[in-house]
Structure 1
């Protein structure tokens, strides 16, 4: 099983929010994350879900939030994985490419089935036991229809849409999808007219696909190799420190394991969670101290210490010196306290 808790933020996501008149700082604060997350190209699953939930909480109605953001993305801001779909030969080709390359940006997983006059696309979650925020589900399914409309240049409609959770004003969603919308279903599913899948894309670009597809296929192959648990745990700890001191329960939940299984896997790789937490904090402390624009209190916070004195004691154990003196020796600047 490939373990992946690294989520690429959609290219243009923050620009899309600005186009809607939403301050990105408001979303981040609502998500209770550090403002530096805005410049992070990759986040953890928990952070990804928190950002989407914060966006939902800032909207007056979830249905409006779904439609606004699904239609706000300019094609120029599409990431390569979506560009291969937008420039596909037809709608069927586009949907299959979306499902294939969605693996590069979990946690959403698309299951496509063609039967009779219908094509159903069901959304599931991969690499996490926690379902994503309802608004993320809504935007994902809405964008799949938006992709068909933009690619074909036709006002396509869905046949039926099902959501497992409330999505705000159902009438607003039905007007957008052009079909009945059911709330409280046992799945999240978009049902399209199968005949629409044969519609050619006016945006078809064979030359661009010849460039993008080999690169994406190579990335997909590399990702499907199992990563070491140690590497994954360190990465999640690093990106969770500013929110407090992450515990093994949080990390295990992130990568879809029980605490006991995670402890055993780390032991097999010759380490422990406590050791990785200490090592990551130490590494990050050194990195942040090299940035002379950060004062010591900020560094302490960024690596999960609630007070400066605790950080001083820990750093002295690691380096045998104070953070201020270490900074002077290695950066050559006066201490900033």
Structure 2
């Protein structure tokens, strides 16, 4: 008898709650508009279909982007597009820029870039900044950090919305090698003190260079290296690695993959921070023993990337040399080092 009464009370309570819910839906305020999004479609689940949310409309456009059918049997055959450890090698003709941009626009990414304009290298900054506005991650949030001992000489360059520049003063030096060597330390501190939680990717670029073509989302990855344009045809025995076993940048004759540029590298904040900390630590340990690697931070970077393989490799399109004629496999030059007289700009050249 008691169990029967208990069930009856439960049924009455549930019925009452159901009726109250129906009355609230019918007489209460309009339901808040909600959006259901999947990888292929979205729809509004609300009685109010009058106003479309612009961001959602963009996601719809991205998900329905029209582009040529991808192929795994047709493409570039004049160059290698995959490393032995299965990292893509990015060349013109190996990616769809519109498709990649649509993917990363949904993630609302931001990209930091560092550039060092110390001493007379300040003369290259205006050209670097102006061409970056034209070609470097156009349409995305970009924050360029300029390290310089001449902050009053930093040029005024108009930047698009969502893009900004920060000038960070650094001491000058009588040796260009010291300027080069300190880069890893300053990059490490920048990430630790300013960028954690405020971005996702960073690229470290030489100021005595300029952009000629798109450098965008196709370059993003965990650890990103750029093939040096001067050595990509050479056997690794010709690479200018640090060959002294006493140095922590040492790479033996039969070791190494490619020779990477010190003037352009990047990736995720986490990966670049680890690279910068390791290279700085090894450089400082070498210095205590009176050793300076053949090409300072570039030598340590190459040692690091031989042991810690980059997850994406950028072709020489991403740091060509203006004094070189373009080889047939170079369909576009995206970024290049300008012609210069080192005796005029380096304090101890």
Quickly name the TM-score band, shorter chain normalised. Answer: under 0.3
TM norm structure 2: 0.25
Calculate the TM-score normalised by the size of structure 1.
Answer: 0.26
Instruction: Please identify the structure whose Cα radius of gyration is greater.
Output: 2
